[in-house]
Amino acid sequence: MDALGGSDEIAAERLSRGLLLTLAAATGLAVANIYYNQPMLGLIEASLGPGAATSVPVLTQLGYASGLFLLTPLGDVTRRKQLIVAEFVLLAIALVLAGAAPDALTLAIASALVGFAASVAQQLVPLTAELAQPQRRGAAIGAVMSGLLLGVLLSRTLAGFVAAQFGWRTMFLAASPTMLLVALALQAILPDVRGELRLPYPELMGSLRRLWRDLAALRRAAFTQAFLFAAFSAFWTVLALRLAAPPLGLGAGSAGLFGVVGTIGVIAAPLAGRLADARGPSTIVRLGAALALASWAGMALWSDLAGLVAGVLALDLAMQAALVSNQHVIYALRADARGRLNTLFMTTMFLGGAGGSFSAMIAWRLGEWPAVAVLGMAFSAAALAIQLRAPTRPSRSREAGSETR
């Protein structure tokens, strides 16, 4: 047979350095598509009206969440290669539709489809975990997450430049053939890894509830990351407001420069992965949660520009270290369920981020920066508390050996 099973020993032979770099690049290029619209909203509004500027970013994110929940589990029951290539082709089509949209409604539909197909990024991460040797899984995940982070950080800068020079449609239209090139590259080099399960789609989706119920380590990792992402999102939600407020009085452009500082996470992700391999992921997650708490405490005491820069450096390091290490944890639980585990983990994390953003706006209205800092410390402390209450050596009887489907 030319299809690989889910065995780590067999699949490990297929993860060369070149393939790992390709997976990292593909992940970054895929996720970048959901952020291209953000710096172009002013131009889109001028072209198609205010309704487009309001709906496009929201529908893109909703599309991404829908793809994450509805498509990612399919990696456990289908040939991942064909699924990934098909999603990149769909993404290319959606980008053409967005770039050629004659009105706000068409652009809204195209944006939702772009987000839906861009969830292919979350197919590539569990595939990397499946192909990596167990003792190097953390480092491999870290490398791919570095690609994802670069895609998030650089997408806004690229889209802003392209849109300013050539118009907002050009960015979408230029991204489309890039996705086709990625699809062709992955078709050529990806090993044919097939999910171990043979379940109808309704039963596959029904198994999500059982996995969540049976795997305590999954719930622990997901809730920890949700609280950390809430703390992270709270910072970025109110950053522009904090910079504009006295005594700083800085313009909105200053907030964008903080994204450059976030590139430090590109270094943090693979480093955290290697440390997770060497020291154990739980230790790194606890250190990440403690660092997040310390960063918010520091920003509560020193909220000047230097304090904010130092704080975001620490917070970004904490977030990336914990994320990579928690993914290391969940992908080790069930080799045949990595797609579904990723679905549950990432959905919980994004719900936490949404809650953090919403809570941060309320906190800002109630007490501005001091109230937001207290909120950030509370979220970080909750993440740390979850980890400190975790057993040092959790039982593997239900976590790894469960036959839950």
Alpha helices in 119-261 (DSSP H): 121-131, 137-166, 168-189, 201-214, 216-244, 252-261
pLDDT, tens digit, 9 for 90 and up, residues 11-37: 445 678 889 999 999 999 999 999 888
pLDDT 10s digits, 272-323: 777 777 777 888 999 999 999 999 999 999 888 889 989 988 998 898 889 9
Amino acid identity of residue 1, one-letter, is M
Q: Would you list the domain boundaries of the chain? A: 8-196, 206-388
- Residue 244: the pLDDT is 79
Q: What is the pLDDT of residues 121-140, one digit of tens each?
A: 999 988 898 888 887 887 88
Model confidence over 200-219: pLDDT tens digits? 888 888 999 999 999 999 99
**DSSP secondary structure letter of residue 246:** T
* 378 has pLDDT over 80: yes
**Alpha-carbon torsion, ordered 135, 136, 142, 144, to 10 deg:** -130
Tens digits of per-residue pLDDT, 387-397? 998 765 544 43
pLDDT tens-digit readout, 145-200: 889 888 887 887 788 888 888 999 999 999 999 999 999 999 999 988 776 667 78
Mean pLDDT of 326-350: 88
Q: Return the bridge partners of 79, or none.
A: 194
Residue 328 near residue 342, CB atoms below 8 Å: no
Query: Is 2's pLDDT higher than 50?
Result: no
User: Is domain 206-388 given the CATH code 1.10.340.30 in the classification?
Assistant: no
Q: In the CATH scheme, what is the homologous superfamily, with its name and number, of domain 8-196?
A: MFS general substrate transporter like domains (1.20.1250.20)
Percentage with pLDDT > 70 across the chain: 88
What's the rounded Cα separation, in Å, for the pair 399 and 405? Answer: 13
Encoded tokens for 295: 């960063």
Query: Which pair of tokens denotes residue 145?
Result: 């997450």
From 99, 327, 362, select the one nearest 225 (Cα to Cα): 327
* Location of structure tokens 């109110």: 238
The reported pLDDT for the residue numbered 200 is 85
pLDDT computed for residue 88 by the predictor: 98
Find tokens 């991460």 and name the residue.
125
Do 8-196 and 206-388 fold alike per CATH? yes
**Across the strands, what pairs with 193?**
4
Residue for token pair 């997450």:
145
Mean pLDDT of 56-64: 85
Q: How confident is the model at residue 254 (pLDDT cuts 50, 70, 90)?
A: low
For residue 259, what pLDDT is reported? 67
Residue with tokens 């089509």: 93
Low-confidence winner among 190-194, 340-344, 400-404 (lowest mean pLDDT): 400-404
Q: Is there a contact between 264 and 355 (Cβ–Cβ < 8 Å)?
A: no
Burial 371-394 (b: 16+ CB within 10 A, else e): bbbebbbbbbbbbbebbeebeeee
Tell me if residue 193 falls in helix, strand or coil. Answer: strand
pLDDT, tens digit, for every residue of 66-108? 898 899 899 888 888 999 999 999 999 999 999 999 999 999 9
Torsion of CA 180, 181, 182, 187, to 10 degrees: 90
Q: What is the dihedral of CA 176, 181, 182, 185, to 10 degrees?
A: 170
Query: Which tokens go with 282?
Result: 């739980």
